[in-house]
């Protein structure tokens, strides 16, 4: 990919050291699967919806099975070399024929044999081969007073009985409508050129400023942590990613440089660094070290300090500003997915870019030539 390419890598997942799936947006939505062990490694599925999240597993035949979630609640099952299938979450979405007031769905995760889907209005669904429905709907947190809705985000966990989910609280607006008298007075002041006085009337109706607030939940609806609620910054941070190192050690990262570590039983510790207010997008463990992707770079994290990961990526990427989407380690390979710069892998010594053939993004793509023998 070139930095000026209008296409963007929207979501990605790695399933094996030489197998991954990526979704691009631009002109259309393409789901691209790479299987490095095959003579022709690339395959493509086109879907008619905007894909917001991916999950997947390796099938019994050694080929990948991808689950692609659209923002409207469509779940596409895409087994490599086999026919695809489609299911729709009833009531989800905005433009779907069956849409209610639930709105878009947000993220998906495969836990055991079940696929979980989260949504923007306290939605959590569980999909299996035998059915689709709400997951413990009666225990899901709902928006308290002074909040409009709760956005359920990324979900992860060692089992479907031990789940963690990031939740964003969207506060109710404190802005009120201007009275008829205030509106007339503001107009009069503007006409008289007394702009500052007119703007002051508008500001007085705005009320105190409120920001999105992040929480980490355990599956039974109990709040586990309220990130950055005063440790270094007065406002709470929202969360971006959850990584399960073990049942006893769960990590979460997000805005304002927040890094949480712990578990539901013993609680979470904020191990964030003072002075770091960067957005942290993703976290994984590569061999024996934690790796974190921030807004602009990749970092090692030793539990106390963040340090720039070396060797750094190709200098051309650093010159054109990285746009980290996700870091993920599978076996002894670390994947780095960048929204503008594509897919790169790291084996512990050097980086390798996996070039995406431009033909893949053409509408009439019919496959690539076999690898030379």
Please give, one letter per residue, the 3-state secondary structure of 9-77.
EEEEEEEECCEEEEEEECCCCEEEEEECCCCCCEEEEECCCCEEEEEEEECCCCCEEEEEEECCCEEEE
- Contact between 142 and 150 under an 8 Å Cβ cutoff? The reply is yes
Query: Where does residue 217 rank: exposed (0-12), middle (13-18), buried (19+ CB within 10 A)?
Result: buried
Adjacent-strand bridge partners of 320: none
Element (H, E) at 92: none
Nearest CA among 222, 295, 224 for reference residue 256:
295
Query: What number is the average pLDDT over the span 276-288?
Result: 89
pLDDT score for 323: 82
The pLDDT-based confidence of 230 (bands split at 50, 70, 90) is: very low
Using the predicted structure, report yes or no on whether residue 315 has a pLDDT greater than 80: no
Which two structure tokens, joined as six digits, stand for 139?
């225990």
Instruction: Give me the torsion for CA of 58, 55, 2, 43, rounded to 10°.
Output: 40
Q: CA 208, CA 135: separation in Å to the nearest integer?
A: 36
Using the predicted structure, report yes or no on whether residue 62 has a pLDDT greater than 80: yes
pLDDT score for 4: 43
Sign of CA dihedral 77, 80, 84, 85: negative
Nearest CA among 58, 62, 69, 183 for reference residue 115:
69
Using the predicted structure, report yes or no on whether residue 371 has a pLDDT greater than 60: no
């Amino acid at each position: 990919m070139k930095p000026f390419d209008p296409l963007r890598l929207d979501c990605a997942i790695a399933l094996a050291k030489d197998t991954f799936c990526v979704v691009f947006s631009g002109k259309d939505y393409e789901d691209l699967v790479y299987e490095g062990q095959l003579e022709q490694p690339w395959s493509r599925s086109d879907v008619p919806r905007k894909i917001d999240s991916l999950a997947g597993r390796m099938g019994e035949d050694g080929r990948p099975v991808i689950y692609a979630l659209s923002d409207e609640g469509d779940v596409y099952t895409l087994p490599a070399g086999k026919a695809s299938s489609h299911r729709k979450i009833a009531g989800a979405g905005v433009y779907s024929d069956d849409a209610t007031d639930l709105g878009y769905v947000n993220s998906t995760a495969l836990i055991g044999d079940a696929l979980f889907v989260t949504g923007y209005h306290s939605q959590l669904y569980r999909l299996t081969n035998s059915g689709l429905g709400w997951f413990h709907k009666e225990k899901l947190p709902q928006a308290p007073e002074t909040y409009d809705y709760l956005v359920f985000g990324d979900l992860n966990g060692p089992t479907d009985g031990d789940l963690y989910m990031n939740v964003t609280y969207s506060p109710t607006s404190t802005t009120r409508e201007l009275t008829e008298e205030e509106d007339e007075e503001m107009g009069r002041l503007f006409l008289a050129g007394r702009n500052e006085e007119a703007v002051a009337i508008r500001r007085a109706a705005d009320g105190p400023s409120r920001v999105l607030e992040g929480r980490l939940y355990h599956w039974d609806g109990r709040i586990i942590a309220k990130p950055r609620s005063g440790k270094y910054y007065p406002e709470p941070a929202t969360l971006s990613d959850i990584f399960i190192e073990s049942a006893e050690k769960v990590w979460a990262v997000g805005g304002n440089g927040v890094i949480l570590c712990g578990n539901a039983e013993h609680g979470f510790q904020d191990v964030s660094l003072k002075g770091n207010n960067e957005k942290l997008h993703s976290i994984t463990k590569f061999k024996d070290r934690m790796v974190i992707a921030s807004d602009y770079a990749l970092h090692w994290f030793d539990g106390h300090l963040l340090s720039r990961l070396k060797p750094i990526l190709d200098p051309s990427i650093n010159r054109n500003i990285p746009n980290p989407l996700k870091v993920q380690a599978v076996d002894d390979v670390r994947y780095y997915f960048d929204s503008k710069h594509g897919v790169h892998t790291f084996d512990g010594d050097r980086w390798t870019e996996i070039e995406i053939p431009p033909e893949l993004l053409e509408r009439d793509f019919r496959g690539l030539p076999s690898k030379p023998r």
